[in-house]
């Protein structure tokens, strides 16, 4: 008989901007811890909004706060929240329908660094991505580091965790979504490929890139030109370049049709 995984009844969000974003989004917060004596700047706004929403605020000594913190730069405030609620694939497709837009989906094939994941979520949210798909195994999850690095963007982004990325891609293709993979050995540069319409962009693992099975399931592959001696980019930088090329192409197509 296998041991059951321990249940997480609470996650924590750290940093002033992240906690403020959570408060302003209206999502649940169980309680907020503030370093004793921290009453200046945005801390006052956090305390005021917490009282408004009837959220308990507890003051603790700096040493106690440092012991609680999961990140170094928690900025004197930690919010205890219910665990991050992942969505289903259908919720992402529904979000596109709700906005009356072609699906724009980001698929992350094994991003392991929570800083990269947080940065990618932030970029995806600003680019208008309808949802992000991540694998359940061997990949970063949404934790306090991801929350902080994303600057609160996780509050507004639909994120689905799936068992099998390759099978999920097949499902998306059946919905009429074209799947674009990023690969250093691809024939075409990213700006040469049509990225308009219903699209899913696949970004691979920091070290190994996209898995072979996932790569085979992509409709086409693109690459970013490399001019220096280093032959790869940080995953979050690659995601930003491709996502904003997609945004530019979509906007250009809309402008040309008007």
Write the pLDDT tens digit of every residue in 36-95: 987 778 999 999 999 999 999 999 999 999 999 988 889 999 999 888 889 999 999 999
CA distances from 70 to 109, 139, 143 (A): 25, 19, 9
Nearest-angstrom CA–CA distance, 123 and 103: 17
User: 73 with 64: CB under 8 angstroms?
Assistant: no
Q: What is the DSSP letter of 70?
A: S
1 pLDDT band (50/70/90 cuts)?
A: very low
Tell me the CATH number for domain 89-257: 3.40.1280.10
- Domain at 11-81, CATH class: alpha beta
Distance, CA of 146 to chain centre:
8
**What pLDDT does residue 183 have?**
92
- Whole-prediction pTM: 0.79
List the chain domain ranges.
11-81, 89-257
């Amino acid at each position: 008989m296998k041991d059951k995984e321990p249940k997480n009844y609470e996650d924590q969000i750290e940093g002033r901007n992240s906690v403020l974003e959570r408060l302003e989004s209206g999502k649940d917060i169980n309680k907020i811890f503030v370093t004793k004596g921290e009453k200046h700047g945005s801390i006052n706004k956090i305390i005021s909004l917490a009282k408004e929403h009837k959220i308990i605020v507890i003051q603790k000594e700096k040493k106690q706060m440092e012991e609680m913190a999961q990140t170094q730069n928690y900025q004197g405030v930690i919010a205890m929240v219910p665990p991050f609620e992942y969505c289903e694939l259908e919720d992402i497709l529904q979000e596109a329908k709700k906005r009356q837009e072609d699906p724009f989906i980001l698929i992350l094939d094994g991003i392991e660094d929570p800083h990269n994941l947080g940065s990618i979520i932030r970029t995806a949210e600003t680019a208008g991505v309808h949802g992000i798909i991540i694998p359940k195994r061997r990949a970063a999850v949404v934790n306090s580091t991801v929350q902080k690095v994303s600057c609160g963007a996780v509050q507004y982004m639909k994120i689905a965790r799936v068992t099998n990325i390759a099978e999920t891609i097949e499902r998306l293709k059946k919905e009429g979504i074209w799947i674009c993979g990023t690969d250093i050995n691809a024939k075409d540069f990213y700006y040469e490929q049509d990225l308009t319409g219903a699209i899913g962009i696949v970004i691979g693992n920091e070290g190994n890139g996209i898995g072979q099975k996932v790569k085979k399931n992509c409709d086409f592959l693109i690459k970013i030109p490399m001019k220096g001696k280093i032959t790869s980019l940080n995953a979050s930088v690659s995601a930003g370049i491709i996502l904003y090329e997609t945004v530019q192409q979509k906007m250009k197509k809309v402008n040309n049709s008007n």
